[in-house]
Chains A and B, each alone.
Chain A
């Protein structure tokens, strides 16, 4: 396949205009010693039908496709309205550049502005940005931002925040004067507030919690925020399942300073983990320290409303080493899908989706915990995921479930040493009653063996 649009004659015309007899003359500035002497050792070009066949074969080596899955843990199966694919696949949305020339990018910019507005409405915060790479880097950026503002050496983070997010925060802060300390959770699955209060002091930059957390439980956001503020620290909330905001009160109402997380649930397919889309929102007094692109409203010379990237002096291409972040991009196309998703679901649809998640996990849990040897590990209220403890080794149960083409959940012992035979199970609106009943039936049968 070639995407060159020049004919042999065109090439000759160009060479003549330039005044050289061959293209290789144009590479004369590259020293001979370092030039590649032969063709790259790569497979020969494949045509379209060959590519399709080649990749279909590769994708068929993924056994997972036929399985009924209850995997969650920060990436969720949700319904995606058809219009999301239909509209986002338009060439005018896929192939434009970053909107640095706003007069020819109003589509992109207005979508960003709507995205920012929707995130503010969901989180109850003053300002949102145009998106970040993903939830984990959002969490890291939030910690860096809090550190820029408060400049204290300690961050307290709940152990039940997503382990991958905690790891990314560590990676990003390893060269800073900052220690990240974990605060454990109780039997309820919620953070140990008494312990948190003890460790909060005037050396704390921020308290970081996740709700619903990685073990499925919803945290007491108002209290934690209050204690953080009393100690002079910032309150940072991570959200990996923002469908929960369809029902849960907006965290902005409790004075949370930064809300950040993953918007994959809003119209992004699982995609083996990427590209996803991080979102971030904060209170207005922190605007100058806020990372990421932001679209703002303004007027053109005829007085017509329009949108532009604004406050760009925070960003790398102007501020260079003094930038708030080195981020050069947002996830514009993924944010577009999230915007279409949210506008298609609308006020009632998102709430209904959240409601069904809450109902279906409870239906599954009620039946699963009736089985002998299966117990809920934590007592706290959950949104759409829950940790179950099994009396039998999970490898045995998992193997048997897989024979029935079911992926039952995420075993947690790799993340938490003290959670042997504990499994994180996620149920959303995509799981029908039949799916759940089938799952329960199989677990019952396996546990009775």
Chain B
């Protein structure tokens, strides 16, 4: 496919793609006196509607997407995005409401939000929810801030947060943003939290343990009740990263695991689309003890009317411009209503079934560091292929040639050369078999023809890109006069 130019390279003077209606009020020529005005928006593009449509249509075709095929990305839960969700979120009655509309006139929106809070409460077993965080990472920050606020009220915010060495990078950075130091807890030979290490490090100076369950290896922390006891005994909190909720829906409620606060990712478990990198949403559920600290505004129902409340003196405050990612929440709400209790249970059953199928199919070919049973995802490594000079990166890039998006790489940190695979429940056997066969072929190529891996991918719009040059000499925008070289 011919390389698509930047819009600025297609631009020339006088072209336009959109016309506004003529000004219908009397025009005043002298306005904004005394203020610096620009004569024009320099270098801004001028193209026709046809050019806009073709530009974005062609660009879209260079993207792989869930609508096209399999994304075995561990930890991302790249399940199918139902189209009915999009239709509901586009209903005019929802789409055009202004965030500062008086609440009497947006009772429908508030009702939808409250129902979502109730449903998430039922699914997770937590006492109260906030739907305000814009993403999982922001949910983590909100959760940690609430813990800190609660401990501060008790007299001592404490200094440290414990995080397993397998945790997602947002965990320590969220803790750090809250003013906490991070201490890593080791995983044992089974890939779960080393109880001795936890016990020794759990002191009255530790505010919380941030735990993912099942963890990032797909392994359930079977000792979670003992773990929470150790932490609670010293007055700490259990924060649960709910990114892996796909394995638990309808099977276990985090509330029954003595979790104090949990965030969910609507763009993972609850099917809202990733959009190439957002928007998502990261609702946070808490136990009663932490409810007073939830961010504002809170949605409450009194008699038959819904209200947005701002007067909560213990609240950690406002965390976003307005009312959260309303349309994303609507999509997830639609999803919950379209699946119902049986459908939701099926999600965890089939995601665990699919993942174990892939695990069983590949465990003779790729190295599996931990032999412990896994739920909805599993982590292989490139160890068997390293002797041929092949790394996980090469395996990943070669997979692209087989029409499959690579799995998550190099995370969690406690598996060197990791390949984290999570099929989710929406994959067909056929698509999973295509992936399995491709992986087996690649393992074979690693021995017989490693160069073909090293030079992969071969059939994509661009070949392997020089990320080093991009970082050493950053070019972060188009500038005029810098001619692109001929192909």
Contact = CB atoms under 8 A, between A and B. Distances in A.
Please indicate which of the listed interface residues B36, B136, B469 has the most CB atoms of chain A within 10 Å of its own CB: B36
B227 to A, nearest CB: 12
Contacts of A47: 338
Interface in A1-30: 1-6, 10-11, 13-15, 17-19, 23, 26-30
A93 B92 CA distance: 22
A64 B97 contact: yes
Interface residues of A, number: 196
Contact of A5 (B112, B397, B426): B426
A300 B62 CA distance: 15
A176 B252 CA distance: 37
Contact of B400 (A104, A117, A175, A302): A104
Contacts of A65: 92-93, 96-97
Interface in B303-357: 316-328, 330, 334, 336-346, 349-350, 352-354, 356-357
B364 interface: no
A271 B80 CA distance: 24
A70 B82 CA distance: 35
Nearest to A128: B477
B137 interface: yes
Interface in B275-325: 275-281, 295, 316-325
B45 A343 contact: yes
A45 B338 contact: yes
26 contacts: A6-B429, A42-B122, A42-B336, A58-B108, A64-B98, A103-B397, A103-B457, A113-B477, A114-B478, A118-B44, A134-B322, A168-B321, A171-B295, A171-B318, A174-B316, A248-B37, A273-B323, A299-B465, A304-B463, A322-B176, A329-B278, A333-B273, A340-B52, A344-B18, A347-B44, A381-B32
A186 interface: no
Interface in A23-81: 23, 26-31, 33-36, 39-48, 51-52, 54-56, 58-65, 67, 69, 71, 73-75, 77, 79, 81
A92 B60 contact: yes
Contact of A56 (B80, B91, B173, B484): B91
A282 B357 CA distance: 49
Contact of B138 (A10, A92, A133, A432): A133
A293 interface: yes
Contacts of A102: 462, 465, 467
Interface in B26-65: 26-28, 31-38, 40-47, 49, 52-53, 55-57, 59-65
Interface in B330-388: 330, 334, 336-346, 349-350, 352-354, 356-357, 360-361, 372-373, 375
B111 interface: yes
A103 B400 contact: yes
Interface in A97-154: 97-99, 101-108, 110-111, 113-114, 116-118, 120-122, 127-128, 130-131, 133-137
Contacts of B122: 40-42
Contacts of B280: 329
Given A46-B340, A54-B337, A171-B316, A40 B275 contact: no
A95 B277 contact: no
Given A65-B96, A327-B137, A436-B25, A3 B57 contact: no
Nearest to A129: B476
Contact of A14 (B46, B123, B281, B353): B353
A395 to B, nearest CB: 11
Interface string B152-173: 0000000000000000111011
A200 interface: no
Contacts of B141: 326
B138 A95 contact: no
Give the interface size bracket for B toward A.
35 or more
B16 A348 contact: yes
B345 A287 contact: no
B59 A26 contact: no
Interface string B412-451: 0000000000000111110100000000000000000000
Contacts of A69: 98, 101
B91 A55 contact: yes
A130 B275 CA distance: 13
A446 interface: no
A90 B252 CA distance: 36
Given A1-B338, A97-B274, 8 more contacts: A6-B428, A27-B251, A35-B251, A51-B334, A133-B138, A320-B169, A350-B44, A362-B28
Interface string A326-353: 1111111110100010111111111111
A425 interface: no
A139 B294 CA distance: 21
A128 B476 CA distance: 8
B252 to A, nearest CB: 5
Interface string A356-368: 1011101100000
